[in-house]
Amino acid sequence: MAIEQDPSWQEKSDKAGLEGMKTARAVAMLSYRNYQTYLATQQDPDDSKLDNFRACTYQSYQGEKMAKRFNAFSYWYLSKAMDSQNIGRGRGEIEAILGEIQIPCLYIGLSSDILFPIEEQKFLAKHTPNAHYSEIDSLYGHDGFLIESTQLTEVVNQYFEQIATI
C-alpha cells in the first residue's frame, strides 16, 4: 500500500515508488522484529528526547538499504506473489493438501516471530505426514532466521542426522 501511495508509482522510471518502498520497509520492520528486540537494541539512552529516536533512524536506514537492493516494481511483485500464495486454492482443504505430502519435512518456528507465528509452523507440522517441528528461542522476531544461524544450523543438522537413520 505504501508503494502504491507514492506519487511517483505510476511513472515509467526505475525510481518510481522508491519512497513508498522505503516507507513499506520501515513499517515492515515492526513485524520483522518485536518489542523486546527494539527495547534491547534501539532504546534511546536520553529519555528526554522528543524526536529523532534511534528506532526511527534504524527503520529509515533499513528503508534506504532496501532501496539499494530492489526497485519498487520488483518488491511490489514479490510481495504480491507471497501474499497470494494459497496451497488450498482450487484444491480443497489445506489440511488434506498437507496430508498428501510424501517427503519428510522440517518446520522451524521462531519463538518471537510475529510475521510467521509458531502456531502456523505447528499447524503445518501437525497436518503433514513425516513432519518434524523444532522451535528456536530467539529475541529477534522474524529476522531470527537470519541472525540465529548457529541454532538454525544445529536444528537442521540434527534433523538430517535423524532422517538419515530412517
**What gap in Å lies between CA 103 and CA 33, rounded to an integer?**
32
Residue 166: predicted pLDDT: 67
Strands 131-136 and 105-110: parallel
Beta bridge pairs of residue 134? 108
What's the CATH architecture for 2-84? Orthogonal Bundle (1.10)
Integer Rg of the chain from CA: 20
pTM (two decimals): 0.77
Q: pLDDT tens, 21-64?
A: 999 988 888 888 777 777 777 888 888 888 888 888 888 888 99
83-99, pLDDT tens digit by residue? 899 999 999 999 999 99
